Amino acid sequence: MRAAERERRAPGLVEEAPLATYLLLAVTVAVFAAMYVAGQGDVQRVASAFGAKENDLIRAGQWWRFVTPIFLHGNLLHLAVNALFLYWFGAQIETLYGWRKYLIIYLVAGVAGNLFSFLLSPGPSLGASGALFGLVGAGIVFPLRFRSLVPARARAEILRQLLTVVVVNLMIGFMPGSHIDNWAHLGGLAGGGFAALFLLPDALAVHPPNRWHEWAVSLITAALLLLTGGAGLAQWRAVSPAATAPMQTFLPSGDDPWWSIDIPRNWRQINSASLWVSPYAAVVMVEDTPPSVQRLQQEAQQSLRLGAQRAKLTLDGKPAERVTFVTPGDRQKIDIYLLNAYDRLLAIRMAAPLDTYRVSRVDFERILRSMRIYHRPAISSPSGTFPPARHANQSVESRLASPHFGRQPVALGPA
């Protein structure tokens, strides 16, 4: 290589491996693995806990959800497609711009995509697609900005290929039944292209780099990396208290309680009944009285006729059915669980306003996992009613005195 050619190329630029691309791939795969383990194979179930873009939570102050969705994926195919594109195209952009400017483009585009999605798309979303579209935007800007360095035929071919990628993906996103967030794609495309307008690719460095320019690029890169790390830490701090908050155990009053359930301590019990309300206005009601269960059965059956969703599952090893629907009036999301145990039906009704349902879902899942059925229920009283549930610590003596107590372990809440 002649000396003049060496001066026009950053030292070692081509020979060096695209380490930033490998780092992004490693982080993305590691996060997906953590989601898979935490969700027991269902990553969608824990997407909110890992920081998916959810407009109501962003409005509640969780700003970091503009950043965290960049590293989340909804399933293995979603991860594989984005990882392959990042490996193939991301390495080329990193080689062209250098690792620092490449990270600037990627992260700015990802945040811009989530911002567009927040402003223009009400549904939740996640994925690196916005950031990847930002790399495409940078690839489009380069031949247009440096026209004299790219031959006309090569420029036309580059633009044709990249614009084809954009158009095809947007068309797929607009297809009926598609769950692709095109606003995130368009936001990422605009964000990455805009960032590239202010960044001189390392491959075009001719003279020794300007010290102040290098300092500015390094500071911006460091700031974005700190922002990314801070977003992950903020999400961890937001979720971990909800996942580990103290619970208290409730069970039906009487001498022979046959079920128990744990409720977070920051929930309020209403009039000593089997009804609790959360700080987010979510409600949980547990009924084992025949008239009350019949009312919930009727509500579930009526909602099914109106198109509610139905699913089979198990709670504490017992068969159960879940009916999910949204009330047309006050726009609440309702989950009714009907649990069959020893020829008796136990009903759990969970309700929350739509704008806080995803916040409350973490508590809902903990409450459901805490449900315990100990033995066959006693015969109902002549009136056909059972006393309401009360705190476990107020009925420890009666539970110990029960001939059925001890057949299965009891999960008592902290004192």
**One domain, residues 196 and 229:** yes
Check residue 242 and give its pLDDT.
62
Give the CATH number of the domain where residue 372 resides: 2.60.120
The pLDDT of residue 243:
64
Q: Are residues 207 and 322 in the same domain?
A: no
Task: Report yes or no on 262 lying in a domain.
Answer: yes
Q: pLDDT tens, 263-273?
A: 988 888 886 66
pLDDT at site 354: 81
Give the pLDDT confidence score for residue 412 in this predicted structure. 26
Asked whether residue 210 is assigned to any structural domain, the reply reads yes
Segment among 52-56, 110-114, 361-365, 410-414 with least mean pLDDT: 410-414
Give the tens place of pLDDT for each residue, 360-409.
888 888 898 888 888 887 665 333 333 455 565 433 333 333 333 222 22
Among 92-106, 136-150, 203-217, which is the least confidently predicted range?
203-217
Q: 321-332 burial, b if ≥16 CB within 10 A, otherwise e?
A: ebbbbbeeeeeb
Tell me what pLDDT residue 193 has.
Answer: 95
User: Which one of 129, 303, 370, 402 is the catalytic residue?
Assistant: 129
> 255 and 367: one domain?
yes
Residues 327 and 334: their CA atoms lie apart, in Å, by 7
The answer on 55 and 18 residing in a single domain is: yes
Q: What is the pLDDT of residue 404?
A: 32
Do 51 and 192 fall within a single domain? yes
The answer on 17 and 163 residing in a single domain is yes
Residue 192, pLDDT > 50, answer yes
pLDDT over threshold 80, residue 157: yes
Per-residue model confidence (pLDDT) at position 389: 58
Residue-wise over 105-127: b if at least 16 C-beta within 10 A, else e? Answer: bbbbbbbbbbbbbbeebeebbbb
Residue at a domain's end among 221, 243, 265 = 243
Over the range 16-46, which residues count as b (16 or more CB within 10 Å of their CB) and which as e? Answer: eebebbeebbeebeebbeebbeeeeeebeeb
Confidence class for position 3, pLDDT limits 50, 70, 90: very low
Specify if 412 maps to a domain: no
What are the backbone angles phi and psi of residue 136, rounded to the nearest 5°?
A: -65, -40
Higher pLDDT, 295 or 112: 112
Domain boundary among 243, 267, 297: 243
82: CATH: 1.20.1540.10
Please check whether residue 184 is in contact with residue 113, taking contact to mean a CB–CB distance below 8 angstroms. Answer: yes
Contact status, residue 281 vs residue 353, Cβ threshold 8 Å: yes
| More confident call, 385 vs 309 | 309
User: For residue 410, is it within any domain?
Assistant: no
Q: Is a pLDDT exceeding 50 seen at residue 11? A: no
Question: In terms of domains, do 264 and 135 share one?
Answer: no
Which of 192, 213, 243 is the last residue before a domain boundary? 243
On whether both 238 and 251 belong to a single domain, the answer is no
Average the pLDDT over each of 60-64, 105-109, 201-205, 390-394 and give the range with the smallest value.
Answer: 390-394
Look at residue 339 and tell me if it is in a domain.
yes
Q: In terms of pLDDT, which residue wins out, 204 or 183?
A: 183
Higher pLDDT among residues 240 and 29, named by residue: 29
219 band by pLDDT with thresholds 50, 70 and 90? very high
Q: Are residues 272 and 344 in the same domain?
A: yes
Any domain includes 252: yes
Distance CA 91, CA 215 (A): 24
**Model confidence band, residue 179 (pLDDT cutoffs 50, 70, 90):** confident
- Could you give the number of structural domains in the chain? 2
Within a domain: 218: yes
Average pLDDT for 114-139: 92
Angstrom distance (rounded) from CA 86 to CA 92: 9
Residue with more model confidence, 178 or 7 = 178
113 shares a domain with 54: yes
Average pLDDT, the chain: 81
Say whether pLDDT at 183 is over 70.
Answer: yes
274 is catalytic: no
Given this model, what pLDDT does residue 118 score? 93
**In which band, very low, low, confident or very high, does the pLDDT at 65 lie, cut at 50, 70 and 90?**
very high
Residue 285 phi, psi (nearest 5): -130, 130
Model confidence at 12: pLDDT above 70: no
Query: Rounded to 5 degrees, what are φ and ψ at 338?
Result: -110, 110
Helix (H) or strand (E) holding 290: helix 290-305
204 plus 72 within the same structural domain: yes
- pLDDT of 220 over the 70 cut: yes
Verify whether residue 185 is a known catalytic residue: yes
- Give the C-alpha separation, 133 to 113, whole Å: 9
Report the pLDDT value the prediction gives residue 391, as an integer from 0 to 100.
60
Containing 102, the helix (H) or strand (E) segment is: helix 99-120
Q: Rounded to an integer, what distance in angstroms lies between the CA atom of residue 282 and that of residue 332?
A: 9
Residue 72 confidence (pLDDT) above 90? yes
349 and 294 belong to one structural domain: yes
Is residue 407 domain-resident?
A: no
Q: Is the pLDDT of residue 314 over 90?
A: no
Domain containing 386 equals 247-401
Q: What is the mean pLDDT of residues 287-302?
A: 84
Task: List Cβ neighbours of 50 (8 Å cut-off, separation of 6 or more).
Answer: 31, 34, 35, 38, 68, 72, 235, 239
Choose the catalytic residue: 185, 370, 375, 395. Answer: 185
- Amino acid occupying residue 161: Q
Closest C-alpha to 37, from 305, 29, 196: 29
